[in-house]
Amino acid sequence: MEARFDFDQWVKADSSTCYSGSYAYERGRYQLAYQLVPQRSGLYCLAHRSAYLAFNSNQDFDGRCPTLETTIAVKLNDGQDNNIHLLHDGADRHWRDSLLLEPQARFHDAGGYCFYVIP
């Protein structure tokens, strides 16, 4: 991950990896960019969750809602479907069924993206 993004890596007991940090605020938009290098073939699904922690100087702009309540949705690839249909191929029923039960809230608004790595 580029140095302009302040993120920490967490490797969970199941060997999955999570990153926690802050997006870069550039040209009036929050941005994040990274590269993945999968080590194994298979189906991969990513989600980009965001949460309100504190308003700071980057959130002091005209038209900002004066309340502290927020709803955050991540718009990935300008709102494309991001291969949600690949979830039907997933072997893990928990994740497949959970995401497909409420695809807008649990996949699209979470910046979901699925892809295959083929040997």
- pLDDT tens digit sequence for 93-114: 887 888 899 999 888 888 899 9
pTM of the model: 0.68
Least confident of 1-10, 66-75, 104-113: 66-75
Per-residue pLDDT band for 64 (boundaries 50, 70, 90) equals: low
Question: Between β-strands 113-117 and 42-46, what pairing exists: parallel, antiparallel or unpaired?
Answer: antiparallel
User: According to the model, what pLDDT value does residue 65 have?
Assistant: 61
Residues with Cβ < 8 Å from 40, sequence gap 6 or more? 117
| pLDDT at 57 (0 to 100) | 53
